[in-house]
Structure 1
């Protein structure tokens, strides 16, 4: 069950990593300080890939249990999560959250497209697309925005006390990289989506999102995973009005990146939005757009 919060400062959402996450917060900065840059990169990649492999293996028990006693949606959720873990930087909780909200949108017949801003390697975008394909009654347009060059530099709006967040691994310029070729291969070659159904939009959000706002039109699920202030605020300002009443908005970095939280809190205040925020269990939040 997701925990409900408001933006009144009383129930402030905080990121609470597990034991592995707390250890990684110590180990990764230590390796970055002590190893030559080339060796650090090789070591980090090996550790990260090993961690993702371990996550996938550890998910086998949940996968097996769902296929023995679970509902159709339980089986689908665990099957898709295990399939997509190699493509996800957010892990199983981000994937399961994307599944649950897309499934809710399909059950509730919320009209509109499926949109993600901040695609990285494509795991959660693929989860949204596959869930809709499996559970939806109609084919929805899917729009996936990213620089496809990794993260930009943070701006002054992202800093608090000289830090930009409470995340586990460093996020330098170019981090969270998934190229448009990699994501295209996943969507079109591996998952066999038609190219007229999935649109990959390359470029910085301030250059692409305003231009595509009217073309995208109505939105059922909007997932924001841009980490920084501008990368969160620009999609909110341009796409929120497109979200159907009863549709869902996911902010992946709310409790981990100071700028992302600031952008959301400002936007809620500016628009007088009273929707409660629900935690995804790993530092992200989501909310349902209030009905008119």
Structure 2
């Protein structure tokens, strides 16, 4: 066998050094991607590859993130690799939420801006939090406009708020004029309680089906959650109110069955709009008895369930019959809407 020396002559060595140094300069700029040929070994190497000796001038220094040398049996022990780009992790610290600035909200500039919006534009947000149709939400939106334009004093009260969509509409409508009115929200915030003996058979059957888990239609429409009918937890309602950016101190959340909470609650002296949506006889009758007298002349009373549930209709009929008053019906189709102007 013939032995052949792979050590290049001195002139070739100088040329190789020149080529490798050029590669190194290109590598520092990120331009070299090919491994050097097998004969481009460090100058002190006299044996065939792989070579194990290193000299300082052969070690690329700046920038270290671009190149490094390592042993490799496939490329004469000298191979350049691009090190992985380090992962950059961004962190941020958010400032604490600021308190609502009432003076900033209740300004001509803000009211002028809000007056450019209609309920139709805001409906994609509101409809997620209400079961009331857009037509009837538009009706209470306009009612808030009316009491503001006519100068009717008093707060706005809603009994039976579910997840707060209808209240959102009234709040946003009121912000077009002022941020002085208080909003009172009465609800169990834990779903509808069982109907009483004064309620109709339809209500009792519907409630029993839900308790047995047999009302799949209402479950599919998110009207039943965890066996609770019309479940609207308080945090969800408060979040909906926060969306409006209305002053937080203007909201009053009263949790519990209204027939239990009304007798022990310090109610507003004046009410401009009273909207009732608690479905059953006992709650509707208590709401009328405790709050109707506080409704100001020119104020509006809405009973959302007058046509839907017999108990609510019975309570309204008994209350107005006792006072010798007639109901002014606005719509006759199902589900109908009734309101009274005091």
CA separation of 1:130 and 1:205: change in aligned 2, threshold 3 A: same
2:202 aligned to which of 163, 167, 172: 163
Alpha-carbon distance in 2 for matches of 1:120, 1:270: 30
3-state SS of paired residue (1:97): helix
1:187 aligns with 2:241: yes
Please give the per-residue CA displacement for 1:9-55, whole angstroms capped at 9, x wherever unaligned: xxxxxxxxxxxxxxxxxxxxxxxxxxxxxxxxxxxxxxxxxxxxxxx
Alpha-carbon distance in 2 for matches of 1:268, 1:116: 20
Compute the displacement of 1:109 (Å): 1.0
- Match of residue 30 from structure 2: none
The answer for unaligned runs of 5 or more in structure 2 is 1-113, 207-214
Structure number having the greater helix percentage: 1
Compute the displacement of 1:104 (Å): 1.2
Matches within 5 A, 1:84-123: 84-123=126-165
Matches within 5 A, 1:1-292: 75-134=117-176, 136-137=177-178, 139-159=180-200, 162-164=201-203, 174-188=228-242, 190-212=243-265, 214-279=266-331, 282-289=335-342
Alpha-carbon distance in 2 for matches of 1:221, 1:279: 19
Please give the per-residue CA displacement for 1:60-116, whole angstroms capped at 9, x wherever unaligned: xxxxxxxxxxxx979522223333011111121231122121111111111100000
- Structure with larger RCO (C-alpha < 8 A, sep 6+): 1
3-state SS of paired residue (1:277): coil
CA separation of 1:138 and 1:88: change in aligned 2, threshold 3 A: closer
3-state SS of paired residue (2:141): helix
The answer for unaligned runs of 5 or more in structure 1 is 1-71
TM-score (norm 2): 0.58
CA separation of 1:83 and 1:280: change in aligned 2, threshold 3 A: farther
Number of residue pairs aligned between Structure 1 and Structure 2:
213
Q: Do the aligned partners of 1:88 and 1:124 also contact (CA within 8 Å) in 2?
A: yes
Alpha-carbon distance in 2 for matches of 1:166, 1:155: 12
Q: Do the aligned partners of 1:97 and 1:280 also contact (CA within 8 Å) in 2?
A: no
- Match of residue 110 from structure 2: none
Alpha-carbon distance in 1 for matches of 2:250, 2:287: 21
